[in-house]
Structure 1
């Protein structure tokens, strides 16, 4: 995945050595984490509006200040 002078070292610092020795596991774990985070963000954006709350600025009206041209 990398090709430079550091790739020939037998030991890399910290978590980088784990990534070097188990690259495909790291890809899998990071991909799974990205999917979970994307799902949580999408779920949070679809949260139902609470009755009585004023409309958000990103609503269907296009947002902005009323009457501004």
Structure 2
């Protein structure tokens, strides 16, 4: 039915967005790691990005489990 197709498209779109966000966060964290010195603000930013990355990963796994 069209509603199940719409749900699949929403699911796919959300999954792609989450995977892209997870990858982008990973890349940004790795950029910080190339710096010779991290400020306290850098450390906080990295921790916040790591938290968001974990949240994305958790949502990806939940979506996959419900697919």
* Superposition TM-score, scaled by structure 2 size: 0.45
Q: Give the structure with higher Rg (CA).
A: 1
Higher relative contact order by CA 8 Å / sep ≥ 6: 1 or 2?
Answer: 2
TM-score normalised per structure 1: 0.43
